[in-house]
Amino acid sequence: MALRVLLINPPIFDFSAYDFWLKPYGLLRVAGMLPGGSDVELFDYLDRLHPAASMSRREDESGRGNFDSRAVDTPVPLQGMPRRYRRFGMARDVFRRFLRERGPFDVALVQTVMTYWYPGVREVLEDLRELAPDTRTVLGGVYATLCPAHARSLGADLVVEGSRLRPLWDFLGIQPADGLPLWDLYPRLEVGILKLAIGCPFRCTYCSVPQVDPTFRGYPLERSVAELEQLVARGARNIAFYDDALLYRPMGVLVPFLEAVIDRDMHVAFHTPNALNARFITPDIAELMVRAGFQTFFLGFESKAYEWQRKTGGKVYGHELERAVAALRAAGASPRGLTAYLIIGHPEGNLQDVEASMKFAHELGLRVMLSEFSPLPGTPDGEACRSLIDLDEPLCHNKTFFAAQRLGYDEVERLKGLCRELNRSREPAAAAPVR
């Protein structure tokens, strides 16, 4: 009898959330490794094109948009914040009805992302226990990897840590296949995800990627091209890269892929929400990216301050950002698509000089997007925050909450206001939310 598998991308519980090309790529990739004959279904709470999602038409030209949401009670650890806590995604009753109509399933694979989004995972497991008690449950992803003990406390049958999947295959009693991600599970698809490689060779002190995927390795070119062709055939015209080091070792990974895209004359718009390392953007790389169809270039800058960069891993310095922007502009990249990420609320914020960094990026012609710092367990910067918060409670990793605790809510709002002023002064430009 075929194995009946349910894939679940849970709702989000947070102060804010926006569909910044969010798709459960890891979950779909794992599903593509299930043996032939498996009966697989997907329930994605965050699918804005689902008939039950009322916000499905509110999006920008690149495929981003708002999720359905409603206000809910703020959890005790986060109380005191002058913002409404919300649940984002399709209504709970939609999933419960799905279980009644489509069950039973042998196993449910649940993707986890931000550690502090675990209330959505808990909700899913509660409904599975009530309406599908014989379905075995498996958690995987970032929360499951960074907070495995906490994840196990939610009652799943298996918690898979990191990207090594042997425990999952042993649990299911199967041998994995080598298929493509199961994008066919979406009735409608306008946005797709690609990863050309896994892992990151850098060790930024605020980043959790080394814990999730500690070794950098590229995927075979033929597979990456096949994934893109599959997405295009399904109707996706906006493709976001989830790589954590897209530009690393470009001659072995990115350049052959871009050349294949250009040779095949594939008309898609590429996006880079996970941030590009500006150090590796040369004139030749910039030209290839623009020719291949890159529309947005999100550059991970974080701070202009040399000492802050040096202490946190030295990802990219101001002169490297300046050189990268010049290369992108010379290659014909639209100024509307050039954005610099900057961290606020970092524990070493006194060294960071946030306002000067914002103005520096602005003077280069970049839009600025603020990213509140999230103190993640296992990272050097996260562990340094144990005296400030309860790091063992994932809700306290919430970026909005921590930045407000660190800087004060009014100061965060002042910095965001300055960010909006700088960006408005360069309008017309592509709309982007202040994170």
Give the DSSP letter string of 15-64: S---BSS---HHHHHHHTTSPTT-EEEEEETT-TTSTT-TTTT-B-TTS-
Supply the DSSP symbol for 125: H
Does the N-terminal peptide bond of residue 428 adopt cis geometry, omega within 30 degrees of 0?
A: yes
Domain boundary among 146, 172, 198: 172
Tell me if 102 is assigned to some domain: yes
Is residue 180 classed exposed, middle or buried when 0-12, 13-18 and 19+ CB atoms within 10 A define those classes?
middle
CATH label of the domain that carries residue 310: 3.20.20.70
Average pLDDT of the residues in 383-410: 96
Structure tokens at 152: 């196990």
202 and 162 in one domain?
no
224 and 135 in one domain?
no
302 and 389 in one domain?
yes
pLDDT tens figures, 207-234: 998 888 878 999 999 999 999 999 999 9
Is 314:277 a contact under the CB 8 Å cutoff?
no
Domain that holds residue 48: 4-172
Q: Read out DSSP for 74-100? A: PPGGGTT-SS--EEESS-HHHHHHHHH
Average pLDDT of the residues in 126-155: 97
- pLDDT category at 434 given cuts 50, 70, 90 is very low
217 and 366 in one domain?
yes
Neighbours of 393 (CB within 10 A): 16
For residue 399, pLDDT over 50 is answered with: yes
92 and 221 in one domain?
no
Q: Read out DSSP for 347-376? A: TTHHHH-HHHHHHHHHHTT-EEEEEE----
Average pLDDT of the residues in 45-59: 81
CA distances 289 to 295, 319, 388, Å, are 9, 21, 42
Domain boundary among 139, 172, 205: 172
406 and 287 in one domain?
yes
327-345: buried (b, 16+ CB within 10 Å) or exposed (e) per residue?
A: bbeebebeebbbbbbbbbb
122 and 40 in one domain?
yes
**Lateral strand order in the sheet of 191-194:** 191-194, 238-241, 269-271
pLDDT of residue 237: 94
SS3 category, 131: helix
Tell me if 324 is assigned to some domain: yes
pLDDT of residue 58: 58
Q: Which residue has the tokens 């002023």?
A: 421
99 and 228 in one domain?
no
**Lateral strand order in the sheet of 39-44:** 39-44, 4-9, 107-112, 136-141, 158-159
For residue 340, pLDDT over 70 is answered with: yes
d(CA 121, CA 9): 9
How many CA atoms, within 13 angstroms, populate the side-chain half-sphere of residue 75?
19
- pLDDT category at 428 given cuts 50, 70, 90 is low
Average pLDDT of the residues in 197-201: 92
204 and 161 in one domain?
no
pLDDT of residue 303: 86
Tell me if 433 is assigned to some domain: no
294 and 166 in one domain?
no
Average pLDDT of the residues in 386-394: 96
Tell me if 180 is assigned to some domain: no
The number of folded domains in the chain is 2
CATH label of the domain that carries residue 81: 3.40.50.280
Tell me how far apart the terminal alpha carbons of the chain are, to the nearest angstrom.
Answer: 47
Q: What is the mean pLDDT of the chain?
A: 93
d(CA 342, CA 364): 14
